[in-house]
Amino acid sequence: MPIFIDRRLNPKDKSLSNRQRFLRRAREELKRSIRDHVRTGRIAEVDREHAVPMPRKGTSEPTFGDAKDSGQRQHILPGNKSFSPGDLIPKPGGGGAGSSAPGTTESEDDFRFVLSREEVLDLFFEDLELPDLVKLNLKQILSFKPRRAGFTASGAPTNINVGRTMRNSHGRRIALRRPKQAELDAIAKLIAELESKPASPAIRERAAALRKELDLLERRRKRIAFVDPVDIRFNRFDPQPVPNASAVMFCLMDVSGSMGEREKDLAKRFFVLLHLFLTRRYERTEIVFIRHTHEAKEVDEHTFFYHTQSGGTVVSTALEEMHRIIEQRYPVAEWNIYAAQASDGDNFATDSERCIELLDRKLMRLCQYFAYVEIIDERESHIFGSTENGTSLWRAYNAVDGKWPNFQMRRIAAPADIYPVFRELFARQPALRKSA
Amino acid sequence: MVSQARKSELLFSGSDWDFAKLSRVYEEIEAIGVEELRLDIYPVQMEVISSEQMLDAYSSVGMPLMYRHWSFGKHFLYNEFLYRKGARGLAYELVINSNPCIVYLMEENTMALQALVTAHAALGHNHFFKNNHLFRQWTDAGGILSYLDFAKSYIARCEERHGLAAVEAVLDSAHALMEQGVFRYHRPPKLSSEQQREGLRERLEYEERSYNDLWRTLPPSQGRNKPEAADESLAERKKSLNLPEENLLYFLEKNSLVLEPWQREIIRIVRVIAQYFYPQRQTQVMNEGCATFVHYTLMYMLFDRGRISEGAMLEILRNHSNVVFQPAFDDPRFSGINPYALGLGMMQDIQRISTEPTAEDRDWFPDIAGRGDWRDTLLDAWANHRDESFVRQYLSPALIRKWRLFVLADGADEPHYEVASIHNERGYSKIRSALAQSYDVGASRPDIQVVDVDLLGDRHLRLRHNVKDGILLEDESRDATLRHIRRLWGYDVSLAAMDAETGATLSERSTKEL
């Protein structure tokens, strides 16, 4: 008799930790493919599963192996049809390349595997140097709150619904005709009365019958419990997503010639991070892309990132366009409005005044949060160490920054600089959560 | 009426399986196997697993327990990729050379397939593991699972104490030398029992606890400085190193000057596992052939006795013929000689030679031709041969003709292959020996040995690659592997390629040049 063991119910993911070790090992290469993914993919789709090619660096397992192009070998093959000894057969691949017997090569070239959402985000965050707590926050998809949802027959003792349980018990007691204590008492009293009277055969008979009945009822009462496990009901709680209002995120970007590939890539990550934050907090998130040169226009994502347009730079047009769209489509009562603006800081000097006015008078009242990043050259980062000097837009926004707490601005030269822009936002998290 | 009676004797009907059916089928198959084929098996433990668990088992070299390493994660992803793409199916079963013999059954299998797999793995492979001399001598079926358990927890403990990266580095290097980590000719030391391992660990811990740096500062004794004493100790040391040594991992484990005790233990673990699998690599054709022959024979016996329905038998035969399919060399599906097909073919050939020999067979196999009892011959072959000797002994001209085998000579610098031998009088023995040669694992992988090391001087480790038939090592992987050896040895390492016949040095590569 063999021993049978059903292993199908064993915990899954037995080789999960091997997988993690492997991903850690190939970290750099995977990070690069995620970077490409962020660059080419859509903002809203960054936090999805993603297939990546097999990393090569650091994951080879060398052993001593024969060089295919040396020495004398013999291949033994089945299925000879017309060969005789001494026949010469030209090698495939032409002349002396020494390929081995046919059909023995197997390439791992097109081998791709899927990274889960968690893993993709991990790699993405690592580049941005997010604090751990924030990472954890961002990875949560939704917050849940238990809601009452009827009753259930099983549950934790703390959740017993006494009223419902007693009602069931009562019904069952009636249905099964459980004798009441009062009935028993009445019969016992009757017996006592009979016994106190002078004994006569009729009375004795009557008392015996009553005693028998009392005994029967008592046994019946014992058999039918007052509260039976089948009566018990528990309150049922259903985890329900916390109802969040909708949010809209405005991406504003200067697309004039001075914004190159690198600038756009940094800008995109900046937008992605804000978007991740929003999708986690709000049930519905919309993104509006506004690009501008000397005039602003709402465009789709692809155009936003990949089409260049020539022209000057008038930032206020973008702000105006944003204001117009808010008035038209996103009433403040229903929408949380977030804006992220990326630029290299160029602007007409006179226009900067107009920007201050627009923000101060109109937009900052409507926006939950307005983040501005100025993308600078890495070589310039030390020059612009202090906040005082800078481009005209920077100086203008400095004034707004002082006045509005929900305005953030920052110069970024590398991916790691992006997160500090949002530090305020993420820091305010717990407070917001409490009020929600 | 007859068909009615037969139906009631069926072991199972329908394609769904359950544990009662599995157990009934196993018992019937075991009874027939032991009685008719005189098989001798370990007790069996059958485990039902899902496809994901099968992939898990694939990536940890088929063992139910394995320590953690990134390369297993990589192999898992690779196997999963092939499986999801549909490029490769999963095996119906997996069997582990342990006592009790563990057989994995896939949950997707139909009942007919489970019966086939039971006969194949639980009887065929099991008998082979228990009786073949290589497995009997070189592996310890009773101890392997507890050893793996020890290995897994030991390596996990090392990771806790010394960090993932440090453990990973040792494992990487040890894995690179796994092929060179087996004793090919003399028997390996027995797996130490749990008690001994426990003792070893305790001793190491005691040494760590009682280590005192003070001893290092003692002045050297007077006698040491005399020259003749130094010579003596040098010779003694060389002798004690027991060179040349073919098992590089063993050599490094015992003699490396830079390894900590725990690193040595990890190398030992890798080495023991490599050694455990060494017999399997030498007996692929025989092992699969034995299992295939057993399932084929047993299934027919059951069918003849009316215990399997015709429908189930058809399904079994279909799967059987898929397994033993051997495409010709020019077929796009060709990927080398199918060990299942070759093994089964040769074993059925032995059956034929024993019962209905031709004049040619009597010539070639005077010992067994017409002896009548093929069971004895097969049991003897299963017990005493490995692939190389089995082919050399039993590949018959009739089978060579049937398979139309031919030998292709392939010189690296020639623009052509040359057909060296075909299935004719002159070719039979040549084909036979060429095929046998190709199954000689010891001969077909690079022969690399430690030849010299001057422990008192610069501690330069010298390796020699005996080049056979002019087949050199591939440069890139050789350099990478040398780097791994250097990491374990701690000092420079050089590898000289020497022609095995002439003794001429062809090339030399040292880690100094890397």
pLDDT tens-digit series, residues B354-413: 998 898 888 898 888 888 888 888 999 999 998 999 999 999 999 999 999 999 888 888
Task: Transcribe A254-270 into DSSP letters.
Answer: E-STT--HHHHHHHHHH
Residues B463-484 have a mean pLDDT of 88
Q: CB–CB of A22 and B426 under 8 A? A: no
Residues A212 and A185 in one domain: yes
Residue closest to B171 by CA, chosen among B75, B255, B61, B270: B270
- Tokens matching residue A223: 């058999």
Residues B331 and B434 in one domain: yes
How many structural domains are present in chain A? 3
What angle do the packed helices B475-489 and B248-255 form, to 10 degrees? 20
Q: Is B98 on the interface with A (CB under 8 A)?
A: no
Q: Is B50 on the interface with A (CB under 8 A)?
A: yes
Q: What is the per-residue pLDDT for A233?
A: 93
Q: Which of A15-19, B21-25, B219-223, B429-433 is least confident? A: B219-223
Residues B49 and B105 in one domain: yes
Domain membership flag for residue B168: no
Residues B38 and B124 in one domain: yes
**Per-residue pLDDT tens digits for B198-238:** 777 787 888 777 777 777 777 766 554 555 555 666 566 66
Residues A119 and A164 in one domain: no
Q: What is the nearest CA distance from B326 to chain A, expressed in angstroms?
A: 8
Of B45, B47, B474, the CB nearest to A66: B474
Q: CB–CB of B405 and A80 under 8 A? A: yes
Domain membership flag for residue A104: no
Q: Is A163 on the interface with B (CB under 8 A)?
A: no
Task: Transcribe A229-245 into DSSP letters.
Answer: GGG--EEEEEEEE----
Q: A3 - beta bridge partners?
A: B45
Q: In this model, does residue B280 exceed pLDDT 50? A: yes
Main-chain phi, psi angles of A5, to 5 degrees = -130, 130
Residue closest to A63 by CA, chosen among B300, B207, B172: B172
Q: Between the CA atoms of B86, B87, B90 and B96, what dihedral angle is there, to the nearest 10 degrees? A: -160
Residues A385 and A294 in one domain: yes
Q: Is B18 on the interface with A (CB under 8 A)?
A: no
Sheet containing B493-499: give its strands across.
B447-453, B461-467, B493-499, B505-510
Burial class (CB in 10 A: 0-12, 13-18, 19+), B281: middle
Residue closest to B75 by CA, chosen among A390, A50, A54: A54
pLDDT > 70 in chain B, percent: 91
| DSSP label at residue A359 | I
DSSP H/E element including B496: strand B493-499
Q: Between the CA atoms of B48, B53, B56 and B58, what dihedral angle is there, to the nearest 10 degrees? A: 50
* β-bridge pairing B93-96 and B406-411: unpaired
The CA-based diameter of chain B, rounded to the nearest angstrom, is: 101
Residues A264 and A199 in one domain: no
CA distances from B216 to B203, B205, B211, B230 (A): 20, 19, 10, 20
Residues B478 and B374 in one domain: no
- Residue A303: give its domain's CATH number: 3.40.50.410
Q: What is the per-residue pLDDT for A148?
A: 87
Q: What is the per-residue pLDDT for A107?
A: 46
User: b/e map of A179-198 (b: 16 or more CB within 10 Å)?
Assistant: beeeeeeebeeebeebeeee
Contact yes or no for A252/A341 (Cβ under 8 A): yes
User: b/e map of B132-169 (b: 16 or more CB within 10 Å)?
Assistant: bebbeebbbbebbbbbbebbbebbeebbeebeeebbbb
Residues A328 and A406 in one domain: yes
Between A and B, how many residue pairs show a Cβ–Cβ distance under 8 A?
266
Of the residues B315, B333, B356, the one at which a domain ends: B315
Q: What is the nearest CA distance from B25 to chain A, expressed in angstroms?
A: 10
The pLDDT mean for chain B works out to 85
CA distances from B156 to B38, B56, B62, B68, B151 (A): 44, 19, 20, 8, 8
Q: Is A434 on the interface with B (CB under 8 A)?
A: no
Q: Is B415 on the interface with A (CB under 8 A)?
A: yes
Omega cis (within 30) before A420: no
Residues B483 and B378 in one domain: no
Q: What is the per-residue pLDDT for A167?
A: 94
Residues A179 and A327 in one domain: no
Domain membership flag for residue B12: yes
Domain membership flag for residue A141: no
Domain that holds residue A48: 11-57+110-126
The CA-based diameter of chain A, rounded to the nearest angstrom, is: 133
Query: Model-level pTM?
Result: 0.71
Task: Transcribe B211-251 into DSSP letters.
Answer: --GGGGGSPPPGGGGSHHHHHHHHHHHHHHHTSSBS-HHHH
Q: CB–CB of A63 and B178 under 8 A? A: yes
Domain membership flag for residue A68: no
Residues A253 and A325 in one domain: yes
Domain membership flag for residue A78: no
Residues B17 and B127 in one domain: yes
CA distance A251 to A269: 12
Omega cis (within 30) before B244: yes
Window B:291-350, CB contacts with A under 8 Å: 326-332, 334-337
Q: What is the per-residue pLDDT for B397?
A: 92
Contact yes or no for B444/B438 (Cβ under 8 A): yes
Residues A228 and A351 in one domain: no
- Quickly count: other Cβ atoms within 10 Å of residue B104's Cβ: 24
Residues B10 and B100 in one domain: yes
Contact yes or no for A374/A412 (Cβ under 8 A): yes
Domain membership flag for residue B354: yes
Domain membership flag for residue B422: yes
Residue type, B370: G
Residues A209 and A252 in one domain: no
Main-chain phi, psi angles of B106, to 5 degrees = -80, 140
In A300-383, DSSP assigns E strands to: 335-343, 369-375
Q: Is B156 on the interface with A (CB under 8 A)?
A: no
Which residue carries 């998290």 as its tokens?
Answer: A429
* Residue of A18, A100, A106 to mutate, interface with B, max B Cβ within 10 Å: A18
Residues B53 and B117 in one domain: yes
Per-residue pLDDT in tens (0 to 9) along chain A, 436 residues: 678 888 888 877 777 888 888 888 888 888 888 888 777 777 777 777 777 777 777 778 888 888 877 888 888 889 888 888 888 888 876 443 333 444 333 444 567 788 887 788 778 777 666 666 566 656 655 566 788 888 998 888 888 999 999 999 999 999 998 998 998 899 999 888 888 887 788 888 888 898 899 999 999 998 998 998 899 999 998 877 665 567 888 888 887 777 777 888 888 888 888 888 777 777 778 888 888 888 888 888 888 877 777 777 788 888 888 889 888 888 877 778 888 888 887 777 778 888 888 888 888 888 878 888 888 877 666 665 555 566 777 878 888 888 887 788 888 888 777 777 776 666 654 434 333 3
| DSSP label at residue A160 | B
Contact yes or no for B48/A4 (Cβ under 8 A): yes
Contact yes or no for B273/B151 (Cβ under 8 A): yes
Q: CB–CB of B76 and A111 under 8 A? A: no
CA distance B345 to B340: 8
How many structural domains are present in chain B? 3
Domain membership flag for residue A415: yes
Residues A226 and A320 in one domain: no
Contact yes or no for B509/B478 (Cβ under 8 A): yes
Residue type, A177: R
Q: Is B286 on the interface with A (CB under 8 A)?
A: no
Domain that holds residue B302: 2-132+283-315
ipTM above 0.85, yes or no: no
Q: Between the CA atoms of A170, A176, A177 and A181, what dihedral angle is there, to the nearest 10 degrees? A: -60
A chain contacts of residue B403, beta-carbon cutoff 8 Å? 78-79
Q: Is B176 on the interface with A (CB under 8 A)?
A: yes
* Residue of B177, B408, B433, B495 to mutate, interface with A, max A Cβ within 10 Å: B408
Q: Compute the C-alpha angle A364/A368/A371, nearest 5°.
A: 75
Of the residues B442, B465, B488, the one at which a domain ends: B442
Q: What is the per-residue pLDDT for A292?
A: 85
Q: Is A258 on the interface with B (CB under 8 A)?
A: no
B chain contacts of residue A92, beta-carbon cutoff 8 Å? none
Domain membership flag for residue B137: no
CA distance B74 to B362: 52
Q: CB–CB of B70 and A112 under 8 A? A: no
Residues B438 and B450 in one domain: no
Residue type, B435: L
Window A:72-131, CB contacts with B under 8 Å: 72-81, 83-91, 95-96, 98, 100-104, 108, 111-113
Q: In this model, does residue B79 exceed pLDDT 50? A: yes
Of the residues B383, B408, B442, the one at which a domain ends: B442
Residue type, B219: P
Q: Is A148 on the interface with B (CB under 8 A)?
A: no
Residues B8 and B127 in one domain: yes
**Per-residue pLDDT tens digits for B287-301:** 999 999 999 999 999
CA distance B262 to B253: 10
Residues B379 and B499 in one domain: no
Residues A266 and A405 in one domain: yes
Domain membership flag for residue A223: yes
Residues B463-489 have a mean pLDDT of 88
CA distance B124 to A202: 89
Domain membership flag for residue A168: yes
Residue type, A155: G
CA distances from B100 to A64, B95, B363 (A): 35, 11, 43
Q: In this model, does residue B84 exceed pLDDT 80? A: no
**Per-residue pLDDT tens digits for B125-167:** 999 999 999 888 888 888 888 889 999 999 999 999 998 889 9
CA distance A337 to A363: 10
- Quickly count: other Cβ atoms within 10 Å of residue A43's Cβ: 23
CA distance B76 to B60: 8
CA distance A242 to A146: 9
Contacts of B328 (CB under 8 A, 6+ apart): A78, A79, A81, B334, B404
Of the residues A235, A256, A284, the one at which a domain ends: A235
Which residue carries 């494992």 as its tokens?
Answer: B171
Of A7, A64, A111, the CB nearest to B446: A64
Residues B92 and B23 in one domain: yes
Q: CB–CB of A72 and B409 under 8 A? A: yes
Residues A311 and A276 in one domain: yes
Q: CB–CB of A101 and B336 under 8 A? A: yes
A chain contacts of residue B474, beta-carbon cutoff 8 Å? 65-68
Q: Compute the C-alpha angle B292/B301/B386, nearest 5°.
A: 25
B303/A410: higher pLDDT: B303
